Structure 1
Amino acid sequence: MIYLLALVVLVVLAVLLWKAFGPDTSTPPAGRVLGPDDDPEFLWRMSRKARPSSGDSPDGGPKDPPD
């Protein structure tokens, strides 16, 4: 019985030490990563590819990079 009590105390002590001195997870990552569905330029290029083009676009958006 004493061994079981010692094991419980050791586990509780290990958890408390891990919480006190373990890796810091309270701070979020430094920068925000934009996925392709959040990137306005990517969305503009996808809509541009979906439309049939007949010359330059009158909307004045960014130019498509050469492939």
Structure 2
Amino acid sequence: MIWLFALIGVITVGFLLWRAFGPGSRPAPPRVIAPDDDPEFLRELDRRRPLDP
């Protein structure tokens, strides 16, 4: 009977460690957008562009 409790304890501790340190525990790194892919940057270019006479 003690082996059953030990097995349940080992499985529980393993599961908790996996949830704490496994895949998906770290947030994704921020996504870097190149200037030519950033819609806000492109809108700002249109505003800054001098009007052609």
TM-score for both structures, normalised by structure 1: 0.36
More helix as a share of residues: 2
RCO greater where, 1 or 2, for CA within 8 Å and sep 6 or more? Answer: 1
TM-score for both structures, normalised by structure 2: 0.45
